[in-house]
A and B are shown apart, each in its own frame.
Chain A
Amino acid sequence: MARLKFLCDADRCIECNACVTACKNEHDVPWGINRRRVVTLNDGKPGERSVSMACMHCTEAPCAAVCPVDCFYTTADGVVLHSKDLCIGCGYCFYACPFGAPQYPRAGNFGSRGKMDKCTYCAGGPEQDSAELEYAKYGRNRLEEGKLPLCAEMCSTKSLLAGDGEIIARIYKERVVKRGYGSGAWGWKTAYRETIST
């Protein structure tokens, strides 16, 4: 079974934000919610790096662990999904998430955040009976159609890689060997408790 992961090759990311736009459009993500974003470190300084970040679909996911209603589940492919029907909007997953992935539709005062929304790895949610309902709540289920997440598919520099962890790690390693440098797999150690040795 595959273990689906994301890998952002920060040496290739040009901060074009196409992944962000693709995600927003594909899933009709509401205003104010960003399932994916590009963060630029050391902006305008030597050593500037941009990293595209969304839910990393962690191993032993912190969000799933701390959820007081156990609304998270991990698919056989290692994708971390959740049920918006069960979510009570407590916000614990945001405190636990190392990558700031969980998003809430409302401001959050008095704990009125609404149902949490996050990257689904383009794999929808637990809605089995109605594709329409699934789309409205979680966005398109591309994985079911045999397609990978659109953010990675759209990436113009092929900086963002999505797919089986071993395969994308191999691709990244080959790149590093060929070009002679690589700033590493950002977030992997925190998310998967392993990193790619280059």
Chain B
Amino acid sequence: MLLRSGAGLLAALVLFGWLNCPAGAQHGQDPVPSASSAPPSGANPTAQAVTEEQLLQEMQKLEGRVSIPDYKAALLEQPQGRGYQFFHEGLLPWLMGVLIVAMVAGLALFFLLRGRIVTDAPQTGIKIRRFNVLERATHWMTATCFIVLALTGLNYVFGKRLLFPLIGPDAFAAFAQWSKLAHTATAWPFMLGLLLMAALWVRGNLPDRHDWRWLRELGGFTSGTHPPAGRFNAGQKLIFWSVVIFGLVLSATGIIMMFPFWTLDINGMQLAQYGHASAASVLIAIIIAHIYIGTLGMAGAYDAMGKGEVDLTWAREHHSLWAEEQQPRVRARDDGAGTAGAPAE
């Protein structure tokens, strides 16, 4: 370093003199001798050392340097683990349990009061194509994966509480090992199906002006009226968007957990678990309602996704606007069937 001016030289001298003071160099300040609190063994080497409590208050967790080539090992203490314990054992079983039991109980009550929803008018025998092969295949692939994921996921929380006492530690551990593998394996086709479903049905699920009335009348489920609806009514739109949003949350947090510590640190991993488990709790409850209304709850609804076709009466009552749109096609097909003698499938 070249010092060209006298002022610079002076500054350098001052700096050199300060650096020469060993106490100042080591502690950044002059040691203040305190006569009263001097420890019997001489200088107190911890006078400037921070305590665990101070560090925890400042940094929430204690991280330092470690000679092991694994950055995770540099974490000395993260009291957030106790918070994770509380979420996992204190909160989550209740959140999941209450949501699922409440949904099942609510649906059972609804079934007792309302019974199976059947069409007002008799069946016409005329069928309208509702979901094509691609749509159905996508739905059932995603649905199968979801059920496997939900059951194996619930096993992480309730397995040790419900299944473990029945089959014993060894059998349960073996089952849990396989269900863990199933959970990570079915996650991929689920995510593929989720994206496909989102692409296939997003157009029909955009909100429109009929949704508000449908929601206000609760779809006519309780009153027996039939508020107008397009291809998807507001209830189905809610299911669709719940699946898309919670499904994406589950996918993102799931990928994070499949590649642990790839991008996030320990607290990030804990947050991913909180998000994954909470989203799963809500989506499982929603899907239970979806399964109910698609099978037991409403006559004719299963055919839509099972056979891909619904009766014209069903379509007119539950999806009046969509049935209207489909009318020309139905007529054309009827005419075609009448003249050519074979359905143009």
Contacts and interface: CB of A to CB of B under 8 A. Distances in A.
Given A37-B66, A111-B184, A183-B52, A69 B27 contact: no
B41 A88 contact: no
Interface stretch (B71-79, B119-127, B136-144, B226-234): B71-79
Interface stretch (A96-104, A116-124, A147-155, A161-169): A96-104
A165 B299 CA distance: 67
Nearest to B62: A41
Contacts of A99: 76-78, 81
B172 A41 contact: no
A62 B258 contact: no
Given A38-B66, A179-B40, A71 B173 contact: yes
Interface in A42-75: 42-43, 46-49, 51, 53, 62, 65-71
Interface stretch (B2-10, B103-111, B155-163, B318-326): B155-163
Among A46, A96, A110, A190, residue most surrounded by chain B Cβ atoms (within 10 Å): A96
Interface in B68-120: 68, 70, 72-82, 84-85, 88-89
Contact of B73 (A88, A97, A98, A100): A100
Interface string B154-185: 01110110001000011011001100110110
A62 B82 contact: yes
A173 B64 CA distance: 26
Among B67, B170, B261, residue most surrounded by chain A Cβ atoms (within 10 Å): B67
Given A11-B46, A41-B64, A96-B85, A184 B52 contact: yes
A39 B27 CA distance: 22
Given A41-B76, A46-B27, A88-B176, A17 B46 contact: no
B76 A39 contact: yes
Contacts of B51: 183-184
B79 A40 contact: no
B184 A110 contact: yes
Interface in B234-257: 257
Given A11-B45, A187-B52, A180 B73 contact: no
A98 to B, nearest CB: 4
Interface in B6-47: 26-28, 38-41, 44-47
B266 interface: yes
Interface in B253-270: 257-261, 266, 269-270
A129 interface: no
A78 interface: no
Label chain A's interface by main secondary structure. loop
A83 B82 CA distance: 22
Contacts of B257: 91, 111
Label chain B's interface by main secondary structure. helix
A177 B180 CA distance: 53
B64 to A, nearest CB: 4
Contacts of A11: 45-46, 49
A95 B265 CA distance: 10
A135 interface: no
Contacts of A94: 266
Contacts of A181: 39, 44-47
Contact of B40 (A111, A178, A189): A178
Nearest to A188: B52
Given A62-B82, A69-B173, A88 B180 contact: yes
B99 to A, nearest CB: 19
A105 interface: no
A111 B81 contact: no
Contact of B259 (A49, A109, A180): A109
Contact of A96 (B67, B81, B177): B81
Nearest to B178: A88
A182 B46 contact: yes
A139 B9 CA distance: 64
Contacts of A110: 184, 258
Interface string A75-95: 000000001011111111011
Contact of A65 (B40, B88, B157, B266): B88
A76 to B, nearest CB: 20
A10 B155 CA distance: 42
B177 to A, nearest CB: 5
A34 interface: yes
Interface in A118-141: none
Contacts of A184: 51-53
Contacts of B155: 68
Contacts of A68: 155-157, 159-160, 176
Interface of B: 26-28, 38-41, 44-53, 55, 62-68, 70, 72-82, 84-85, 88-89, 155-157, 159-160, 164, 169-170, 172-173, 176-177, 180-181, 183-184, 257-261, 266, 269-270, 273
6 contacts: A39-B62, A46-B28, A62-B81, A71-B169, A108-B261, A186-B76
Given A41-B76, A183-B51, 4 more contacts: A69-B169, A87-B173, A109-B258, A181-B47
